[in-house]
Chain A
Amino acid sequence: MELDIWPGDFGLPSIDVSCLHFLACSKFCASPITYVTSTAPWNSPTGEYPVCVDRKGKGKPICDFDKFVEELRTNGQAVVIDGGLTPKEKAQIDAFACFLQQRLQPAVNHTLWADDLNYHTTTHYWYTSKLSFPYNLYYVERRRKRVLRTLANKNVNQMMLDALQALNMLSAKLGDNKYFYGDKPTSLDALVFGYLAVLLRVPLPNDRLQVHLSACPNLVRFVELIISIYLPSTDSKQSKSNTFWQTRVAKAIKQKEASAAQPKEEEAEDLPIRDAILFGLGALTLSLIFAVHSGIIEIQMEEEENPIVKD
């Protein structure tokens, strides 16, 4: 089996939330899947990564997390994921998976794709630099549109509030434990890890969620632990690219503060009466010029009216 994922950066094995879900889950059960970092998402049936392909067998490619977990469970891996859980715990895992999807996913998507500053500083730049022109433009635009569609009816503040509450609840639920259920990681740990790792590691200028997440030490420890045990970084160029991104983000923050300061100064002065007069005169002049030009008004000189004579 082969798992195609987006390449990693910022000390993460992949930059994409769903890819991290798949990756963490398969690492938890020590599955012999080969990981392929790829930048050709058009090969996937949904046009997105991750996708798990069985090159030898005839099975369909898997893009759905639940199906992927099912596949890992049934295909006799060394460790059966979610194996030692009671039915009630399994039921809770299903519920929390929905909880994350409803409360955390919109905010994470908004932070990465819908927030203009973050999008232009980081997300757009990262994806376009990995993909080749002109497909990159099409891809980011399509993906952004899709995210914007799913967020269309949501109030941003409410969404952020939900996400912050969700982080608090996850923090309370985790407590001082190593993982959410027992001392072995479950599929829920993979899901939580996916969202939190991206929030924690990807450098963003608008970092409301990041700041809040850093204030939950047990969640931060949880992410670091999973990275260090299951997904150790092998990237040697880390520090160099880190400084690049840091300066980029710092610049964006500066810009934002500058633009936030500006509009207050400009507000006061507007002169409706002067503008109205100027507009009125302008419209009149233009109409007159047009009328004269197109011959609707003729400035007539006296003309002799000759009889019509031919030859």
Chain B
Amino acid sequence: MQHGYWIRSKPVYHSLSWQHRAQAHVLVANGEAGRSIVRLLHQRLPDQPITVLYHPTQEADYSKSLVSLAGENLHVFKRESELWHRFEQILQQSVMGTRLYAAGNEYFLWQATTLAASHGVLSGDVMREQASSLARSVYCVHCKTISHRVTTNIAICTGCQRHLLVRDHFSRRLGAYMGLMIDAEEPGNVPEAEEVYP
């Protein structure tokens, strides 16, 4: 931990809450973040139509709770790509005043944001909650591969096998942190990795 040295590209997340001044509400979530949608559905619901897109994962499946709360407004997808396909269709048909909510791991949140941006929705108008693991997606600056589910401060690139230092510098477009070869100056000098993104 470096006190006082904060890289401003690292996003700050909040808990989702309903934005009642709206025309419609579209929620996307994956895995463990289904719980955040359940929590949201327990609150006073807005008057406008709600659509929930959910992709359960091996780690967590909140479909049953979600279906009992959201009923036919819930759409469950076996594959994440199907969820994005549906999300894109919804974005195409959406009117001004549609509120977007995303809950999931960080990579998921920025996929949702990037997709929304391609339909003219500003990043600031998508609400995001990092509702599951703090694991990072890491972009290898050397071979450009993105390695997912990195929980340690030093990770082996799945593309080029280099040991990467996971920096706090974050690209919203890539949904990933920068990884830089840690032993470039002194090959072989790799400190022990610590699990800091559980």
- The finding on whether chains A and B are genuine partners in a shared complex, rather than unrelated, reads no
